[in-house]
Structure 1
């Protein structure tokens, strides 16, 4: 019997070691909760004392009860301690910005995440695959929404690999979708023996927290990049951990895995121009600055307390990645705690170095939530039962802060128009096309309608011309107004239609 028990224990240990990626959530949770040994020690000591008077069974129950109570109480306290430590450390290391970086007009963020997902799904022409993920990548200097072409259905899940990468140009209002085809040995979506995550936990750093992956297409080759954080331990007054940037794991199409430090990631040729800093860490650190005046303040007077502004984004929330003339930056707009919706601070984080800066407006500006209200007020003829404002991102044009709000149909089938709301004057500028968005970001005058014609968003086209793909997806739309004409050329035949 003893021999069989030993053999069973060895087999279980071997299986646990091989399938350790499946145990990561539990193992990492225990590893980053150092109060567990303390709670266990207190429970054992009290159980030992009780054993002398109450017997082994009752003392065991007391020990378990004490362990649970001490653990729950300790985790609650250490959660507050970790938040305060992270917030104060962030405030101590952040730089002060006198102004915000000008937005790069050559890389406008036009397509929202929800619309990009719809574009990617509508143009998909692989019946055995589906799109998975949705994150920003850069190819040849242009930012795209990237998706993995993952196996679809139970049979394909076990028998196929990731088949490629779907890229949606985020700088173009219409559906500009490119699919890079090629199986990845370790990819996103298939069963564990073909899955990047299972391989990554076995070959890269195990005791870290990985962000969501994003696809990188470099010189025609596909790669998976995964930023991650690692815990930093603190021991007084109770043991707890706070996250810090650990690096980036890079996986190529042949399944080779590189665990890169932040410096190595910035120097790697495949990751040039890519965002590298973890998204979740950005939000977590900025949100933790609400503890800048201490834990007690957050439960009493709330002096100088902030909160990350909640914004409409259809599954996509702050921070938003924007491309400025100084490079890619995460931008987080924060409001005062409570009912106030003014703009208290704008945090910018270099998406490649992780350097934080804070911009505090010298005059009163309204925040992201209020910007969507002004868009609704300005477009009185828009049917807000069928459309919604989405992803208000801060952009800077000629030193002026604007909220760039995309108005999209309820089914996320496209971009109806884009509204730029001046954060100081509340003026709303509506533009209809990609060219007009770029012109506005350059600071060029943008025609918003002639005297005899309503402005974009308020006018109704007399002719709508759509370029349609074989599968029925609308690739491009041309709206014709007033006395404009449409000329169609086919071979040597020309036909003209008047608007």
Structure 2
């Protein structure tokens, strides 16, 4: 018996009981319409989830309605000119103002609770050299599309998964086109090896009963909201391949209610929903997810929650401070990278961690703090550098400055990932073409000295992470980057007003007025 038939019979029995009749003798068009609507609403409740969850997690809503009703009642005792429009206007006003205030209260509580629960780290964990992040997200998507040989399917979604100790970018093989959307299921999983610079693509094919991309009756989310928990916030799904079986893992958050001084909610990690290839749904608590055989290598904590919690620590000195002096206020550092932003999942010697680099509020681009979040337990650590370090945005500037022969109209620095080698923080920056067709090279930027080390192969990346940092150290610039010629602009009083450094076989062209240009080449 289908769910909709069950719902119809349930509603029919309830109506019949109320009217004292048997289910087969129910009459009246209104009751039939009511039964159909109730059954349809129950069956299609996944489509209503967004509205229901928004109302559920906005406890200021009934308060706004109560206040609006009280205000209008008081006004109507004095005048009869107050109509339904007045009720709606007062309700919306109270709701908008109240939602703004409760949003600030929720941010302050979440930020301060994050600070209270976090531990202080004296150093950052060393990066696992055997699990490097080499391929950025945009390039992985291009690799997956270029090697796709299924005409009825496309890649959908993008997230990090681990299989047999190797991290991959994972994609679902979703139906492509309107006809296939309604007639086909997810056909499998595409895995792009994150640790190899070249396109290393693995495809696992087998239809999933409930997958990513098809119509609602074959869709994982529709099934999840029917069989799993309803009043939770499901995050982005990611594919898991374990012993040849395919799973869809969906971390989720649950609301925690607070009632004073006004009612509001804050999110907390609730668990992980796991859907197997037969469409069966398992609702796993965080502890159950960590012990599940299919998830033993995977990140489990919601990445969006990690970013949100770190971002709300800007309220550490109160709400008023964020509108006035901004003392000790932080912001999550914006980073370049097509459709990818912090937090980045980095594989350390202690396991997979989300890393969120934060800067001081405003125009400053120094590194104020580095937050690490254990992606399996949700434990937070805050590392505060004991000396001045520069952040991710400045690292990309140094890469541009160092690569003088790179055409930055056709290439761009992408996804500056923080890595730690021998206790020293570096920014690992991938330089990719504008069409994301590959990786031109990878630059490691010393966060203390600004020295840049460029590497072009996966072997060199691994060697660097193992400690072979070459001539790059905190004591000075690499010898190979010494300029061959320095040209100075000197004012009449002898003051140097400008300097031009010339490297390798670069040329210097000197033009005086309309005179013929003279070329000079630097050698060395």
Q: Give TM-score, length-normalised by structure 2.
A: 0.84
CA apart distance, 1:66:
0.6
Aligned pairs for 1:77-476 within 5 A: 77-444=101-468
Which residues of structure 1 form unaligned runs of 5+?
Answer: 461-499
- Of 46, 55, 60 in structure 2, the residue corresponding to residue 21 of structure 1 is 46
Higher relative contact order (CA 8 A, sep 6+): 1
- Provide the rounded CA distance (Å) in 1 between the counterparts of 2:418 and 2:434: 23
CA apart distance, 1:3:
4.1
What is the match of residue 471 of structure 1? none
What is the match of residue 475 of structure 1? none
- Provide the rounded CA distance (Å) in 2 between the counterparts of 1:189 and 1:265: 25
Contact 1:230 1:245 in 2 (8 A): yes
What is the match of residue 8 of structure 2? none
**Deviation string, structure 1 residues 422-477 (Cα, Å, up to 9, x no partner):** 000000000000000000000025599999xx9xxx999xxxxxxxxxxxxxxxxx
CA apart distance, 1:61:
1.6
Q: Secondary structure at the match of 2:312?
A: helix
- Provide the rounded CA distance (Å) in 1 between the counterparts of 2:504 and 2:111: 48
Contact 1:224 1:251 in 2 (8 A): yes
Query: Taking structure 1 as reference, are residues 346 and 447 closer, same or farther at Cα in structure 2, changes over 3 Å only?
Result: closer
Q: Secondary structure at the match of 2:52?
A: helix
Q: Give TM-score, length-normalised by structure 1.
A: 0.88
Which residues of structure 2 form unaligned runs of 5+?
Answer: 1-26, 473-477, 484-502, 506-524
Greater C-alpha radius of gyration:
2
- Of 50, 55, 73 in structure 2, the residue corresponding to residue 30 of structure 1 is 55
- Provide the rounded CA distance (Å) in 2 between the counterparts of 1:7 and 1:40: 32
CA apart distance, 1:16:
1.1
Contact 1:297 1:303 in 2 (8 A): yes
CA apart distance, 1:273:
1.2
Q: Secondary structure at the match of 2:82?
A: helix
Aligned residue-pair number? 453
What is the match of residue 17 of structure 2? none
Contact 1:439 1:446 in 2 (8 A): no
Q: Secondary structure at the match of 1:418?
A: strand
CA apart distance, 1:47:
2.6
Contact 1:48 1:59 in 2 (8 A): no
Query: Taking structure 1 as reference, are residues 313 and 294 closer, same or farther at Cα in structure 2, changes over 3 Å only?
Result: same
